[in-house]
Structure 1
Amino acid sequence: MQTIIYGGDAYLTGDDIADALLSYGRALGEEERAELVEIPVQEPDGSVVTAKFLIGPASQIVAKQVPGSGPELEAPELVDRLRTLTRGVESPTGAPVEMRDDTAYDLG
């Protein structure tokens, strides 16, 4: 488990979740973009709630390992989605361009 420190508060979440959040934040920061991301975090009483983070170029996020903090908090679908979004920011792809067959093009 890792503690994410954001805006002066600490949020306990799983290793993969924290790593994916930081990677996405780094990618967004490099592109001067910001996004709202929701992740599960564990409260001191053990309950799991959702926390919303605004991440982007101005985000100051720190994650640190927390030894012996109980069972790992996992969200594989969220981690996959964040990794996909990160790849999309790092290597954007455009939509295919469709060309009509009956169009004449002047190639110079």
Structure 2
Amino acid sequence: MKRVTYAGSEFVTGDDIASALLSCGRALAEAGEAEAVTVPSWEQDGTITGVTVLIGPSSQIVVQDARVDAEELIDVTAIARLHAVERRLRPVAAIDVDTRDQESWAADQRNQAWDGEL
């Protein structure tokens, strides 16, 4: 588990959640945007609550290991929401390239180079 310190407050959350929070914060900072996000936190009495933080360009978040007597806090939905914000800010295009097309293109390039030398 991780202890997150933000704006003078602390909360404990899962490792993957804290990592996703930092990654989302980095993407928001790079884009010059801010957004309020909610992540689950573990309370000392064992209950799970939600913490809403405003992260953006001037966020200063510290994450450190936390020693707690509880199972790792896992919330795939919260992680997915944080990653969705990050993907919105850092879109990635995937291109499926057929290697036969690459071989054909390379052969055309060789033929053009050869034709140019005559």
Paired residues, what number? 93
TM-score by length of structure 2 reads 0.73
Where does 1:19-30 land on structure 2 (aligned, <5 Å)? 19-30=19-30
Residue by residue over 1:19-61, the C-alpha shift from the partner in whole angstroms, topping out at 9 and shown as x without a partner, is: 1011000000011100000111111111111111000001110
After TM superposition, where is structure 1 displaced by more than 4 Å over at least 4 residues in a row?
none
Distance 2:85 2:40 in 1: 18
Consecutive unaligned residues of structure 2, counting only runs of 5 or more, are 94-118
TM-score by length of structure 1 reads 0.79
Give the letter aligned to residue 19 of structure 1. S
Where does 1:20-59 land on structure 2 (aligned, <5 Å)? 20-59=20-59
User: 1:7 Cα deviation (Å)?
Assistant: 1.0
Distance 1:92 1:54 in 2: 25
Distance 1:88 1:58 in 2: 20
CA contact (8 A) 2:35 2:54 kept: yes
Distance 2:84 2:69 in 1: 28
What is the root-mean-square deviation of aligned Cα atoms in Å?
1.6
Q: In proportion to residue count, which structure has more helix?
A: 2
Consecutive unaligned residues of structure 1, counting only runs of 5 or more, are 94-108
Give the direction of change, closer, same or farther, for the CA distance of 1:11–1:92 in structure 2 (3 Å limit): same
Where does 1:87-98 land on structure 2 (aligned, <5 Å)? 87-91=87-91
